[in-house]
């Protein structure tokens, strides 16, 4: 099953409405959902979080890049290590 960005909250996992914030009902606050072969989205069950953690992290990095935010993807400590060697 494919994992896609939640269409309801755009990957944020939460909503801000009338000055109040709450978890997105569509994805359960994860920001991502399963998409089956019929293009139907399903909430990722909490029991699956461990198994999909790596995938979610990659999607999150991609999402931040899409928004033009590169601070997370480019880790300063990695750069420092590379400079030493």
User: Rounded to the nearest 10 degrees, how much is the dihedral formed by the CA atoms of 18, 19, 20, 23?
Assistant: 80
Q: How far is the CB of 9 from Zn ion (least distance, A)?
A: 3
Determine if 32 is a binding residue for Zn ion (CB under 5 A). no
Determine if 26 is a binding residue for Zn ion (CB under 5 A). yes
Determine if 24 is a binding residue for Zn ion (CB under 5 A). yes
Q: Which is nearer to Zn ion, 27 or 44 (CB)?
A: 27
Determine if 15 is a binding residue for Zn ion (CB under 5 A). no
């Amino acid at each position: 099953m494919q994992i896609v960005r939640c269409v309801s909250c755009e990957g944020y996992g939460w909503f801000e409405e009338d000055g109040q914030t709450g978890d997105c009902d569509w994805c359960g606050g994860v920001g991502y959902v399963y998409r089956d072969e019929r293009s139907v989205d399903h909430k990722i069950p909490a029991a699956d979080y461990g198994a999909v953690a790596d995938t979610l992290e990659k999607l999150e990095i991609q999402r931040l890049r899409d928004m033009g935010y590169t601070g997370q993807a480019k880790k300063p400590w990695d750069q420092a290590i590379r400079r030493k060697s």
